[in-house]
Amino acid sequence: MPVVFPWEKRELEKIAAEIGVKLHFKPLQAFIDRNGVCAITLYRWEIQGFCPFFDKASKRCSIHDDKPLACRMYPLLIEMPSGNLMASGKCDWIKQQGPRFIRQLSTKPETIPEVFPAEFEAAKKAFIEFTTINSFIERHGLQPINVNKLNNCNEVFDIDDYMARFD
């Protein structure tokens, strides 16, 4: 279940609508300002079974150029907010490489960009987006709010729409 930014969620919903697919997302992280206005920063994309954009015949992603950063960076994972980068042990390709390869990645993390160049670039972009959002949140004094309490907010925005109000 990938984690996506709000603008990625909207793009996925647009593509899904064009092909008649329904997607399910749940807010994962949100913040509230002193006026009771909430901003959702991350969504969890809830996928039942196969990704609806996975073409079973070709065994490829049908939206490869438009897929979210979480998918582009896989099998790399970013631990937030620390920014620690790791490789997923659930990835079939990594499993096939064996324990020696996994030890190499953990003992020599500087090899990750060489082994996974495109994925590393996507991870960098996701980290930059995340830190940019967090910097804005800190500057504007927003506080975390439980996503199950968003109905208590005076208004709810996606973080990019919330941030645009300050431009």
> With 70 as the cut, is the pLDDT of residue 81 above it?
no
Question: What number of other Cβ atoms are within 10 A of residue 119's Cβ?
Answer: 19
The pLDDT of residue 107: 83
Domain spans, the chain = 3-164
Could you identify the residue written with the tokens 């709010």? 145
- pLDDT value at position 32? 97
pLDDT in tens, 108-133: 888 889 889 999 999 999 999 999 99
CA 155 to each of CA 8, 16, 27, 33: distance values in angstroms, whole numbers, following the listed order? 21, 27, 15, 10
Each residue of 39-76: pLDDT tens digit? 999 999 999 888 999 888 998 889 988 999 999 999 99
Question: Cα–Cα distance between 112 and 50 in angstroms, integer?
Answer: 27
Q: How many CA atoms lie within 13 A of 119 on its CB side?
A: 18
Omega before 81 within 30 of 0, i.e. cis: yes
| Of 72, 86, 91, the residue nearest 129 (C-alpha) | 72
